[in-house]
């Protein structure tokens, strides 16, 4: 796996949204502070859309549980529940066909990644992941993309946008591994081969 070795200091549960200011349409806008060090302050930035993408990344808990981490997702009921004990930054949404929210998330990604200096951006997609993957790559983080379990024969649009900057791309179906150059198939998030 492309994660840095060594002990981790898992942060106490904090929601950046609690300390932020109210944004447009009730979206909580995080206040970010500049990093004081060039070293990574977190090992992992876990980025995913709410819903199935979030559930799939949660199912990979063995990968990220012992590492320092911050989550980026949409402020939805499932995210509030599944990430209640995690450090979370809520991104702007919806991301589908919204150039305005893409630009907002690019800015958020630039500020957040600059402050946190994650060693790895780990993502299951979808649209929310694209700006974080590219900004993470530009700012020196390794990007690891895990294609959705629902993609069997063709890569998703998110995969096509993120793969050029991904250090590793994992798929959950052997058929898809044959279609994506350098993709790795190790099984599914549900456990073992599908």
Q: Kindly tell me the burial class for residue 3, based on how many C-beta atoms sit within 10 Å of its own C-beta (0-12, 13-18, 19 or more).
A: middle
pTM of the model: 0.78
Question: Residue 168: what are its φ and ψ, rounded to 5°?
Answer: -145, 145
Over its length of 194 residues, how does the chain's per-residue pLDDT go in tens digits?
444 333 333 333 334 443 333 333 334 445 444 444 455 589 999 999 999 999 999 999 989 999 999 999 999 999 999 999 999 999 998 888 889 999 999 999 999 999 999 999 999 988 899 999 999 999 999 999 999 888 888 999 999 999 999 999 999 999 989 899 898 898 888 876 55
What are the residues whose beta carbons fall under 8 Å from the beta carbon of 126, sequence distance 6 or more? 48, 49, 53, 95, 148, 156, 157, 158
């Amino acid at each position: 796996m492309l994660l840095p070795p060594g002990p981790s200091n898992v942060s106490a549960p904090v929601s950046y949204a609690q300390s932020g200011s109210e944004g447009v349409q009730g979206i909580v806008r995080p206040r970010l502070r500049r990093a004081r060090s060039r070293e990574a302050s977190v090992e992992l930035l876990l980025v995913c859309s709410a819903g199935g993408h979030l559930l799939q990344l949660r199912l990979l808990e063995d990968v990220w549980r012992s590492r320092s981490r911050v989550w980026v997702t949409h402020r939805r009921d499932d995210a509030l529940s599944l990430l209640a004990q995690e450090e979370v930054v809520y991104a702007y949404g919806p991301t589908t066909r919204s150039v305005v929210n893409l630009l907002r998330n690019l800015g958020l990604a630039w500020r957040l990644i600059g402050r946190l200096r994650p060693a790895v951006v780990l993502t299951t997609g979808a649209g929310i992941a694209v700006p974080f993957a590219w900004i993470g790559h530009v700012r020196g983080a390794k990007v690891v993309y895990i294609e959705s379990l629902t993609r069997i024969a063709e890569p998703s649009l998110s995969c096509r946008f993120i793969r050029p900057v991904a250090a590793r791309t994992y798929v959950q179906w052997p058929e898809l591994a044959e279609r994506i150059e350098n993709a790795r198939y190790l099984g599914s998030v549900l456990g073992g081969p599908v």
